[in-house]
A and B are shown apart, each in its own frame.
Chain A
């Protein structure tokens, strides 16, 4: 029997890949949900994911939901609230796979598995992710995925942005500022985890899964490996002084520029805000052993992941080895 799977946030990076994978898996039919009419495709819906009644209607015709809603903290939280209300009004249990994030662990360092508590008092994106997970955790059939940093072809944050920064020589070997563990996870692995979570019998032991490749590289190692892959060599050493300027001076200017130019279609260089610098230095290491065991994950090695990422969007298409 085909599973009908509602994919919320289907227009986003993760959502697009989840929809495509469901379409090809042979046992599911995706029902992509988009906020705006666009490439919803066959069987797709256009609705506001923060609208509980519209969601409740959509739930009536599906067997499972994957929540990939991204956006501002307010959108994330409102989306989770609406989904909670819609699910509560739904008659029977329905499998939910919710995209949480490693951000819920806040400033934790060291090895972190799913038993570690979510951090309290976080604001912004991390705070919204904690709130969303709390709102949805009560549903017995919900599975929470807490991915680290998702890279892969077209990944806006951890591949495309990094590539632009590397090509501009703005990052490279960051010294102590890049010693944090990257907790990278390839988009193909993320999608595999979603499929496994959807097919898992509800009697499974764990409901929360960290997603990160085992022995993930440090940010420095990732940057150096990726730059070599892209041919952006020699990889520069970036001084702490320069990184401080990026965070304190350049990032606010770029943010202001982005606000002024919004809608003009102009593309500014990506900023490196202090929050990003903190992440690159934060030595949190996601323990994804539960996903390895229970979702049967076979993680893509970095070299292979980089090849897939780089050949897709580098001009030269240089192979990485």
Chain B
């Protein structure tokens, strides 16, 4: 059932077994799983089906350094479906090493293991519409597929048999709306959570204050609550209510909002693979119809030996903005920059001021490659614009096998990288706005530097070509566009010790018996992987936990609920 918050009678109380705050990938997955288990679910989503400027403005906030982090209302969408309405769809699981404590990554180690999450990955993959949970070429393809770089030795520091798989990209709101509308779950749109009230003892959440932009106001009472509002908003919600400590719910030890991680990503150098027998940096389509792509992954044993974080890299087209690539399609994209959504344009075309001379050279590139551009646009129209399963990205096959290297690296947890509330600056509903102070560490730079160096060494030693880059420019390159947008990790981290974590291994807030957090906020470390798939898998794990818990206590709850209704 889908309800408008404006239609809920004012000053009444909605009750449920589980109340989920946030209708994005995580909240919707959680709701679907609980629905399947027969749990009474109420999902509160601030937005509606379409984007709305006033709702989106509730996300606005400030950043400590605009060069290092995009404004908080970018890369996330306050509407039904959440940021899956704009995501790129890249899916990959975390690696077993990501869960382990590593003495060279500060504050690393999860209270759970890879094997605890593994059972939930296949269903997470299904929900993301990324096909089978098969992330190596050997498991995903019955027949051999093209090598990334033919001749890359088996003892290289990098493997090239792991895959990233792509979601449609699935807009969870559109995709699962009907299932939620038909089922017994209640989804309330336009419902903004404000203060969260604890009982006098401070151990249980008693009610949520819910408001609409139109001025309606009501309450929600549930037996259990789950915050699934994204890595930034979950921290904001926790901090905005005083809690037992007066410093925010779950924040007695000043951990909420700290350890904020994104990923370190950039495009660097020139990888000249002329001597290699073959190179393939495009997509393959698996039997289940999913776009898959190989990548260079720094092997876990090498991470241990080099004492660096997790790291992957992809072969990429040359930097768009420099017309020296002499490729019509790339110049066309560069010229089309103003028409590409901000979230994608930033890394594609942003950063460098264009002179009229470079502009003219780009135009020249376009004019000299009309057949190539026509073929590209036709493919784009058929397989991206009109297709429901979209071709994931721009892939340009260069005339000579020269590529740039696109990397995506783990960021070390750092308590000084944090989000806080901007007191004195409130949104339209009176909630304090967010301030983001994202930082990286020396170790983050070391991870990228060491990985690039070992790649350059391996490519040269195997006689596959050369990787030319400026080692002194690595840090500049990895923060050229600041933190990788849209990956908001670690702000309510999972751990065994309440002094250094916010939630326990079951994602329950240490301080509060009936409040849980779902999403990338709970990740203690960030991995090389994009967070959505693992966030969904953890949501499904939480759903299993909440359903089990219900089995032994549902009867008690029902009895209480019944008494309450009688008492009215």
A239 touching B387 by the CB < 8 A rule? yes
Whether B289 is near chain A, meaning CB under 8 Å from some CB there, is yes
A235 touches B178 (CB 8 A): no
Is A16's beta carbon under 8 Å from chain B?
no
**Do residues A235 and B288 form an inter-chain contact, with CB atoms below 8 A?**
yes
Cα–Cα distance between A224 and B286 once the two chains are bound (Å): 12
* A228 in contact (CB, < 8 A): yes
Query: How distant is A250 from chain B, measured CB to nearest CB, in Å?
Result: 17
A234 touches B178 (CB 8 A): no
Say yes or no for A11: interface residue by CB 8 A criterion.
no
Whether B286 contacts A237 by the Cβ 8 Å rule is no
For A234, list chain B residues within 8 Å (CB).
285-289
**A237-B168, A237-B389 in contact; A179/B178 too (CB < 8 A)?**
yes
Q: How far is the CA of A131 from the CA of B287 in the complex (A)?
A: 44
Within 8 A of B (CB), among A139-175: 172-173, 175
Q: Is the CB of A224 within 8 A of B175?
A: no
CB-defined contacts of A239 to chain B, threshold 8 Å = 386-388
B549: which A residues are within 8 A, CB to CB? Answer: none
A48 to B386, CA, bound (A): 52
Interface mask (B174-202 → A, CB under 8 Å = 1, otherwise 0): 11111100110000000000000000000
CA distance A118 to B375 in the complex (A): 56
B390 to chain A, nearest CB (A): 9
| A109 interface residue per 8 A CB criterion | yes
Let me know if B179 and A283 touch, CB within 8 A: yes
Which of chain A's residues have a CB closer than 8 A to the CB of B174?
176
Interface residues on B, range: 10 to 19
Q: Which partner residue on chain B sits nearest A238 by CB separation?
A: B388
Give the complex CA separation of A265 and B177 in angstroms. 44
B388 engages A233 (CB within 8 Å): no
| Chain A 197-237: CB-based contact to B (< 8 A → 1; otherwise 0) | 00000000000000000000000000010001000011111
With the chains together, A179 CA to B386 CA distance in Å? 22
Interface members, chain A 232-288 (any B CB < 8 Å): 233-241, 281, 283
Tell me the nearest residue of chain A to B178, going by C-beta. A176
Known: A228-B287, A228-B288, A234-B286. A240 touches B179 (CB 8 A): no
Contact with A along B530-561 (1 / 0, CB 8 A): 00000000000000000000000000000000
The closest CB in chain A to the CB of B388 belongs to A239
Contact at B178–A224, with CB atoms within 8 Å? Answer: no
* A243 vs chain B, min Cβ distance (A): 10
- Tell me which residues across on chain A come within 8 A of B286, comparing CB atoms: 234
Query: Nearest CB to that of B170 among chain A residues?
Result: A175
Number of interface residues of A (CB under 8 A): 20
Contact between A224 and B288 (Cβ–Cβ < 8 Å)?
Answer: yes
Given known contacts A237-B168, A237-B388, A237-B389, is B182 in contact with A172 (CB within 8 Å)?
A: no
| Residues in chain B near residue A176, CB distance under 8 A | 174-179
Q: Are B287 and A179 in contact (CB under 8 A)?
A: no
Could you say which residues of chain B place their CB within 8 Å of the CB of A175?
A: 129, 168, 175, 388
Residue among A110, A224, A234 with the most chain B CB within 10 A? A234
Residues of B within 8 A of A179 (CB): 178-179
Decide if the interface of chain B is mainly helix, strand, loop or mixed. loop
Distance (whole angstroms) from the CB of B32 to the closest CB of chain A: 11
User: Which of B174, B182, B183, B388 has the most CB atoms of chain A within a 10 A radius of its CB?
Assistant: B388
Contact assessment for B179 and A233 in the assembled complex, using a CB-CB cutoff below 8 Å: no
Q: B293: shortest Cβ distance to chain A, in Å?
A: 15
Chain A residues with Cβ below 8 Å from B285 are 234
Q: Which residues of B contact A173 (CB under 8 A)?
A: 129, 288-289, 389
CB pair A233–B287 under 8 Å, yes or no, is: yes
A281 (CB) vs chain B CBs: closest residue: B178
A179–B285 CA distance with the chains assembled, in angstroms: 23
On whether the beta carbons of A237 and B289 are closer than 8 Å, the reply is yes
**Nearest chain A residue, comparing its CB with the CB of B390:** A237
- Known interface pairs A234-B286, A234-B287, A235-B287; A240-B388 also in contact (CB < 8 Å): yes
Q: How far is the CB of B139 from chain A (nearest CB, A)?
A: 14
The interface residues of chain A lying within 8 Å CB-to-CB of B289 are 172-173, 224, 233-237
CB distance from A237 to the nearest CB of B (A): 4
A157 to B386, CA, bound (A): 30
Contact indicator per residue, chain B 142-180, by CB within 8 Å of chain A (1) or not (0): 000000000000000000000000001000001111110
Mask: chain B, 237-269; 1 = CB below 8 Å from A; 0 = not: 000000000000000000000000000000000
User: Whose C-beta in chain B lies nearest to the C-beta of A236?
Assistant: B289
Minimal beta-carbon separation of A74 from chain B (angstroms)? 33
A residues in contact with B176, CB < 8 Å: 176
CB interface residues, A 63-85, toward B, < 8 Å = none
As a 0/1 sequence over residues 257 to 298 of chain B, the CB contacts with chain A under 8 angstroms (1 = contact) are 000000000000000000000000000011111000000000
Q: How far is the CB of A111 from chain B (nearest CB, A)?
A: 10
Set of chain A residues within 8 Å of B177, measured between Cβ atoms: 176
Query: Per-position contact with A for B68-106: 1 when CB-CB < 8 Å, else 0?
Result: 000000000000000000000000000000000000000
B179's nearest neighbour on chain A, judged by CB, is A179
Nearest-neighbor residue (CB-CB) of A172 within chain B: B289
Chain A residues numbered 82-98 whose CB sits less than 8 Å from any CB in chain B: none
In angstroms, Cα B129 to Cα A241, docked, is 18
A236 to B131, CA, bound (A): 12
Contact flags B337-369 to A (C-beta < 8 A → 1, else 0): 000000000000000000000000000000000
Chain A residues 172 to 206 lying within 8 A of chain B, measured CB to CB, are 172-173, 175-176, 179
Residues of chain B within 8 A (CB-CB) of A283 are 179, 182
Tell me the minimal C-beta distance from B28 to chain A in angstroms. 13
**Nearest Cβ on chain B to A191's Cβ, whole angstroms:** 32
B137 to chain A, nearest CB (A): 15
B contact residues around A110 at 8 Å (CB): 183
Residues from chain A with a CB closer than 8 A to the CB of B175 are 175-176
Q: List 28 A-B contacts (CB under 8 A).
A: A173-B288, A173-B389, A175-B129, A175-B168, A175-B388, A176-B174, A176-B175, A176-B176, A176-B178, A224-B288, A228-B288, A233-B287, A233-B289, A234-B285, A234-B287, A234-B288, A234-B289, A235-B287, A235-B289, A236-B289, A237-B289, A237-B387, A237-B389, A238-B388, A239-B386, A239-B387, A240-B388, A241-B386
What residues make up the interface of B, taking CB atoms closer than 8 Å to A?
129, 168, 174-179, 182-183, 285-289, 386-389
User: 18 additional contacts, CB 8 Å, given A233-B287, A233-B289?
Assistant: A173-B129, A175-B175, A176-B178, A176-B179, A233-B288, A234-B285, A234-B286, A234-B287, A234-B288, A235-B287, A235-B289, A237-B387, A239-B386, A239-B387, A240-B388, A281-B178, A283-B179, A283-B182
Across chains A and B, which 6 residue pairs bring their CB atoms closest together, nearest first? A237-B389, A233-B287, A239-B388, A235-B289, A234-B285, A234-B289
